[in-house]
Chains A and B, each alone.
Chain A
């Protein structure tokens, strides 16, 4: 326990850990000391001077954001001189700040507005000409309006310290000092938009959101990003059934501040014109729309016939659908259709991983562990590209706790910049790693089978507490595995299904196996549930329009096994959730698979799926509940395990339909050199 000191703020005696910054000590006790440039977790600037307070026995006002509390300190945060000082600061700030609040994106959620309202004066004494420069577009998604900028340097810091990109700097000096992008007139960066999010005013605005709406016209729906497996919470601003923006200003999720380009902008695929709106049946070489009832009837008829004659089913599930959907699909396969031929595109060797850990649930790292462990070893993955949030956690760990990063990767990765040890082989790092207090080992798809067992044995032999993360690609890859969308007990893997000439039914839910593979069974009846007419859907006999993750409720499990809740943000005409579709087919087939409401299915999951008996309130309130899925031996599975190798700007089939992801990818520098081959 750290030493406590007693101090007085505004007449209240409080206790605070020695060394705490005054601004934090005050906040912890419900006393607000206003600030623009102070930002928890980022370096101190002492630039905005809003946090000046009176400390007795010091002649000048003191800077609340850099002053550590001390025993006996007597502080006044609301004295006449402090109030006058703040008024002066707001007045200074407003001299060159345009008062275009009525049309500014930030209007209504602007920190400068709030400060002016609370601490400023109602009138302006500034009669002179304001400094003006024209607005600039730095990328498809980042615009900069210099006159609105108050130079709090939050954007510069989040980009450097948080994201590790250092794409923003400061040019000129004095009143014409200005934030500038790294490539003269444009940005070449992750396009994550963290700078926009963190901007307290409307200086940095988003290419997709600007001048579209007022913040108060939107509903704010906190849900989980549907792209990679990191499980970032994104708060969607929804107006009239349209997602206007994604951000994480409320810092409500495991990801706190963080979102990458996909989490912030990658939702526009839902309104892509090619989005399927009606069930369709193949007629000759083309598709014709049919009703849901007719589609269900036809599927039921064909499924029943195959089931009755003991034919061969192949079911391919999704790594984007919810746990409830995955669970229900697995149940549908095994109980309803009597088959174990169920699989999904597996991107990490979870079966070997769980087996190798032989029941040690405490060896499973959470996303928080990457921020708190004294060391992180990254094996065979470009974390900043494929798991940007995990990379962010590791960086924050370095920054806040001086953690050590080690890398064992085939090519250069951003984490090398923070690395204290890079090697071709983990063995070369043994001595260094042994001296760490504890360690998280994060590994990619190249580590599978025996190599994975060896890596775990290596970690376990270090003699320090070691936790692991087996990286998987997509938003519910982990959930698909945990819910049993895998060929256990002699079932066929995807490649076996596609290769089997006698396959009678191929049922594909939210996957696109025919993008690369081909189906051998020419006469198989193919049902595809998807958002788009993918390569696989084109081969279907019946195509069913499915809802995306932003259009449904349920839960997903991230790469670290943390369960989080999806909240439906909107409904898209024509589409149904996969769970509804399963229910519809089950009902038509007169199968009793239980109620197909997400909450009910989740109750079943909590009862039946190992490790998923997570506390409901945590999940219900938007928290992330770690699962404990390990319990002894896990049988090996047939089939191929391979990551899709997505980059920051791609996300399997989804990114193809996202205009914005394509736009930033094509922008100068949008795509990392070398990331194409990774």
Chain B
């Protein structure tokens, strides 16, 4: 597989980061950064990461299913993650998630037909004191109301 120069640079750094002979440690970071670029954890990507880290593809495969941020199916360009865990739930997180479903017309781990948005109801993301919280890709949004979520999504639509 070929990756962007920036990602290749990151991979090279990753393989240097860990003690000698411990390149298996690079598996998870490599997967998550590669997913950002490739869009999903594909079988080819698993083989590629296994090769680069010097492990069996099965050892990479085992990891993929374990971590909730690693996805075998492509996500939308904007992955909208709404937290409904306890702190968010108490201040409207569930309602916000229901609103997001309606707004985007998709459900949990689904992708809009145009591939622009995907939605996920996520567990606590560490924004409890500024709840309810939404993370779009890697950007946090705090104290989010349904109206603000609409604005956010509309803004991203326009940007596209």
Interface residues of A (CB under 8 A from B): 166-173, 180-184
Give a binary string over B35-71; 1 marks a CB under 8 Å from any A CB, 0 the rest: 0000000010000000000001111011011100000
- Rounded to whole Å, the gap between the CB of B147 and the closest CB of chain A is 35
Is the Cβ of A171 less than 8 Å from the Cβ of B61? Answer: yes
Inside 8 A of A181's CB, which chain B residues have their CB?
58
Contact A182 B58 (CB under 8 A): yes
Contacts of B64 in A (CB 8 A): 171
**Which of A168, A171, A180 has the largest number of chain B CB atoms within 10 A?**
A171
A170→B62 contact, CB < 8 A: yes
Cβ distance A322 to chain B, nearest Cβ, rounded Å: 43
Pairwise interchain contact A173-B56, C-beta atoms closer than 8 A: no
Q: What is the distance, in angstroms, from A265's C-beta to the closest C-beta of chain B?
A: 24
Task: State the Cβ distance, A653 to closest chain B Cβ, in Å.
Answer: 36
Q: How far is the CB of B124 from chain A (nearest CB, A)?
A: 16
Query: Contact residue range for chain B?
Result: 10 to 19
Q: Are A173 and B65 in contact (CB under 8 A)?
A: yes
Distance in angstroms from B51 CB to nearest chain A CB is 15
* Total number of residue pairs linking A and B with CB closer than 8 Å: 28
* Besides A167-B58, A171-B61, A184-B61, 10 new A-B residue pairs in contact (Cβ under 8 A), listed by A number: A168-B58, A169-B58, A169-B61, A171-B62, A171-B64, A172-B65, A180-B62, A182-B56, A182-B57, A183-B57
Q: Are A166 and B65 in contact (CB under 8 A)?
A: no
**A to B CB contacts below 8 Å, 28 in the list:** A166-B56, A166-B58, A167-B58, A168-B58, A169-B58, A169-B59, A169-B61, A169-B62, A170-B62, A171-B61, A171-B62, A171-B64, A171-B65, A171-B66, A172-B65, A172-B66, A173-B65, A173-B66, A180-B58, A180-B61, A180-B62, A181-B58, A182-B56, A182-B57, A182-B58, A183-B57, A184-B43, A184-B61
- Closest B residue to A180 by beta carbon equals B61
- Which residue on chain B has the smallest CB distance to residue A182? B58
Task: Give B59's nearest chain A residue, CB to CB.
Answer: A169
Min C-beta distance of A240 to chain B, whole Å: 41
Neighbouring B residues of A184 by C-beta, 8 Å:
43, 61
* Nearest 6 Cβ contacts at the A-B interface: A171-B65, A172-B65, A169-B62, A182-B58, A169-B58, A173-B66
A315 to B62 CA separation, bound complex (whole angstroms): 57
Closest-by-CB residue of A relative to B56 is: A166
- With CB as the reference atom, state the residue of chain A lying closest to B43: A184
Residues of chain A contacted by B61 (CB below 8 angstroms): 169, 171, 180, 184
Q: How far is the CB of A582 from chain B (nearest CB, A)?
A: 52
Bound together, the chains give a CA A182 to CA B43 distance in angstroms of 12
With both beta carbons as reference points, the residue of chain B lying nearest to A172 in the complex is identified as: B65
Q: How far apart are A86's CB and chain B's nearest CB, in angstroms?
A: 29
Instruction: Kindly provide the distance from the CB of A672 to the nearest chain B CB, expressed in whole angstroms.
Output: 15
Query: Distance in Å from the Cβ of A180 to the closest Cβ of chain B?
Result: 7
Q: Which residues of A contact B56 (CB under 8 A)?
A: 166, 182
Give CA–CA (A168, B43) in the complex, Å.
17
A171 contact set on B, CB distance < 8 A: 61-62, 64-66
Residue from B59, B62, B64 with most neighbouring chain A CB atoms (10 Å): B62
Q: Which residues of A contact B43 (CB under 8 A)?
A: 184
In angstroms, Cα B62 to Cα A180, docked, is: 8
A580 to B32, CA, bound (A): 70
Inter-chain contacts of B62 with A (CB < 8 A): 169-171, 180
